[in-house]
Each structure stands twice: as structure tokens, then as C-alpha cells.
Amino acid sequence: MFSILAAWLTAIGIQPGHFVSGLAGGVVRAIVNKHGSFWERVVAGAAGTLCASFLTPFVVLMFGATAAQGAIGFMLGIIGMSLAEAIIGIGKNYAQNPASLREDLREFLLKMLSRKDSE
């Protein structure tokens, strides 16, 4: 059963290890996060899984951390929903004011790097 899922994930361009580590991070977020309904937490965990599945190779490439791919996928799984919400917010603001993109990205990075997760 797992080999079929792994083959399907590989066929669509997702490394199974990134998916599993992102899923683990998403599950941890869904359990730890006390805000929202059960289904909102499940969706947040799923969003974390998707973010980790697709963004782990990019983050590994950016930081050159080839040995820590599982840990990076796990962390992206935990913060995936927050990351998706922030990127959507930047996109909406950019649509209204294209000149603000640089400032929005700077604020986003500062919030992500200095934020204490209060969720």
C-alpha cells in the first residue's frame, strides 16, 4: 500500500520523505493548536503537509542543508498554514498597491523570523 502511495507521490513530483515529514508536522500543529474547530485544524495540518511537500526542496536548495531534509519538512509542516496565509496576504496587498511588495516581503520575513507562535 505504501509503495503505491510513494510511487504516486513521486510521479507527481513530490518526494515521499518530504510528504511524510510535512504530514507529521501538520499533525503536530493540528494537535497543539487550540484555536478553531476540529476541521479547521485538520485543514491547517493538510496545508502544512502540502507546503512541506512542495517547499522542502526549495528551502534545502536555499540553505544547502541536504542532511536535514526531514527536519525542514517537519518545520514547514508546522508553519505551513501560517506561511500560506502570509503569502496570500502579500498577494492581496500587492494587487492593491504593487509598489509595496518590497516592504511587505521585508515585514513577512521579520515576522516569520522573530514570531512566537501564539496559536
Q: Select from 83, 73, 67, 79 the least CA-distant residue to 32.
A: 79
Burial of 115 (0-12, 13-18, 19+ CB in 10 A): exposed
Rounded distance between C-alpha atoms, residue 111 and residue 104, angstroms: 10
Say what the pLDDT of residue 118 is: 47
Say what the pLDDT of residue 110 is: 82
Per-residue pLDDT tens over the stretch 60-86: 888 887 778 889 999 999 988 888 888
Say what the pLDDT of residue 21 is: 92
Say what the pLDDT of residue 104 is: 81
**Residue 113 is placed in which grid cell?**
523570523
Q: Is 12 helix (H, G, I), strand (E, B) or coil?
A: coil
The stretches in the chain having pLDDT less than 70 are 115-119
